[in-house]
Amino acid sequence: MLNFKFVLGLFVIAILVLVGCSDPEHINSPIQESSVNLHSLSKSSGQLEEEAPPVEGIVVEGVSVPGIALGFTRAQVEYTYGEPQWCQNGSTPGDQAYCSFPVDGGGQVNVHYRGADGGSANGTPDDVAFKIGWTEAVSGWTTTAGINTTFAKESPGDVISAYPNAQVVYNQFGNIYSVIDYPLGIEVLWIPDFYTGQTHVQMAIFYSLPDPPTTENYSRVASINLATKKIRGKRQVEGFVKVLDDQNQSVPGANVIAHWTFPSGTTQAVEGVTSNTGNAFFELINVPRGKYSLTIEDVVLEGYTFDSDNSILSKSINIR
């Protein structure tokens, strides 16, 4: 396995040299600039057909995924994968932007960028890919250790065996939430979906690190949205809580601890786990008229500190 990965790594590096990709400190090389110009030509002339993320292929941990590699510029990624379905493009200071690309047959590939200087992404062609993730439906992407999303969903324990040096995090229910091997540059996440009650797997590669990051991560409640509706004459209150990190990215798998306050003044404690989009869902069923409030007490996730000072902590709604 080691020899295979070594040879495969050399093959990937050779391909990257041919297409003009290098590490971030060589961003302004003439080869890379010519690749950006070719990308612009293909977009404007329509002479070359746009591509999309491959359905199948080998993932080299900490190096590359099918079609692209860490260190590719935004222009090179779009030249290979075509136009993204949507992007978050650094409009917020400190935002490490990312773009989502659809895969034929289902699933998404999410490319995270930073600026050419290593700072925040600017939404420009020379932004650099530093993390590449993919959703569960992209099951044809298999790492050199033999892991894909289908295998990870069916056998979480075997993922730990495949990456024995990884950091393993469990959620509040005792289930595996993440397996992250920092030296190899690979992560596997098991994210609960509060709409379906199922767990979805996501995977990603990133630049390898000798040790887990020592910087502290923060989470905050960015919004609380309350709504009412009637089902068969019975009133319901629904609450949607959005949790983001200090880079304005969604925080999945966080346990949101809160309580409802009823018109009578009594309270009811509730908890909800954020989905892969960072949303936690709460509801009250068959309630009378009056004022209802949802108040956040804490957001718990290993590796994160809840920033209550910069959070929205309560929202109320009147049912008539």
Question: What's the pLDDT at 22?
Answer: 39
Task: Enumerate domains of the chain plus CATH numbers.
Answer: 2-206 (no CATH), 217-319 (2.60.40.1930)
Report whether 120 contacts 112 (CB < 8 A): no
**Runs of H (alpha helix) within the chain:** 2-19, 30-45, 74-81, 149-154, 156-162
**Helix H or strand E segment including 229:** strand 217-231
* pLDDT value at residue 316: 96
> Up-side HSE of residue 56: CA atoms within 13 Å toward CB?
1
Averaged over 132-153, what is the pLDDT?
97
Output phi, psi for 233, to 5 deg: 80, 0
- φ, ψ for residue 165, nearest 5 deg: -95, 10
Closest CA to 274 of 302, 254, 249, 259: 254
Bridge partners, residue 304, by sequence: 217
Q: Encoding tokens for residue 81?
A: 């994968």
pTM recorded for the entire structure: 0.66
Task: Output 272 or 45, whichever has higher pLDDT.
Answer: 272
* Mean per-residue pLDDT of the chain: 82
pLDDT digits (tens, 9 = 90+) for 62-108: 999 999 999 999 999 999 999 999 887 655 544 557 899 999 989 99
- Region 232-240: what's the mean pLDDT? 90
Read off the pLDDT of residues 23-69 as tens digits, 9 standing for 90 and up: 433 333 322 332 333 333 334 434 444 589 999 999 999 999 999 99
pLDDT digit string, tens, across residues 148-164: 999 999 999 999 999 99
